[in-house]
Structure 1
Amino acid sequence: MDEKWIGAIVEIVYLSKNKNLSKRKINMLSVDQGHIKAFCLVRQGRRNFLVKNILAAEPVVVFIG
């Protein structure tokens, strides 16, 4: 994942350090040295994610109108 997705809402599949899979929708705030800082829409709070543990990522498309 790179900086072009900052400010976007992205759906990720993430492997936690406890080896649990989760699907999250996040609003990416920053990317720095293998870490993503984001607001998690599922947990309703700021979270840090390791880039190496993101198994899949896709921008969320929002239709207006």
Structure 2
Amino acid sequence: MDGLFIRSIEENIPLEMIYLAENQELSQRTLIVREVTEEYIRAYCLLRKQIRTFKRENILSILPESRTKHRYLH
């Protein structure tokens, strides 16, 4: 997971994340990581259009953004 975070920081690569929020609801976010600590990541959330902080323990899945879903829409 750290490799993806570092790549996102260095290359501004968007990541798709499934996250368990504090209220126990699942959310899917597309984000660009800005900072990583042992407990949190700070990232620009493309949904909210602002920097957000996410607990690493609540990240259920994280992958590079799927560009193919956009490619076939045109």
Common topology (TM > 0.5): yes
* Counterpart pick for 1:20 among 14, 20, 25: 25
Unaligned runs of 5+ in 1: none
Q: What is the TM-score of this pair, normalised by structure 1?
A: 0.84
Instruction: Tell me how far apart the structure 2 counterparts of residues 34 and 48 of structure 1 sit (CA, whole Å).
Output: 10
Structure with more strand by fraction: 1
Shift of 1:28: 0.5
- 3-state SS of the aligned residue for 2:57? helix
5+ residue gaps, structure 2, are 69-74
Q: 1:30 aligns with which of 22, 35, 46?
A: 35
**In structure 2, what is the Cα distance between the partners aligned to 1:8 and 1:30?**
13
| 1:9 Cα deviation after fit | 0.8
Q: Higher relative contact order by CA 8 Å / sep ≥ 6: 1 or 2? A: 1
- Count of paired positions: 63
Give the RMSD, CA atoms, in angstroms: 1.6
Q: Deviations over 1:10-59 (max 9, x none)?
A: 00000001101000000100101220000000011110001110000001
Q: 2:51 aligns with which of 8, 33, 46?
A: 46
Larger radius of gyration: 2
The percent identity for this pair of structures is 35
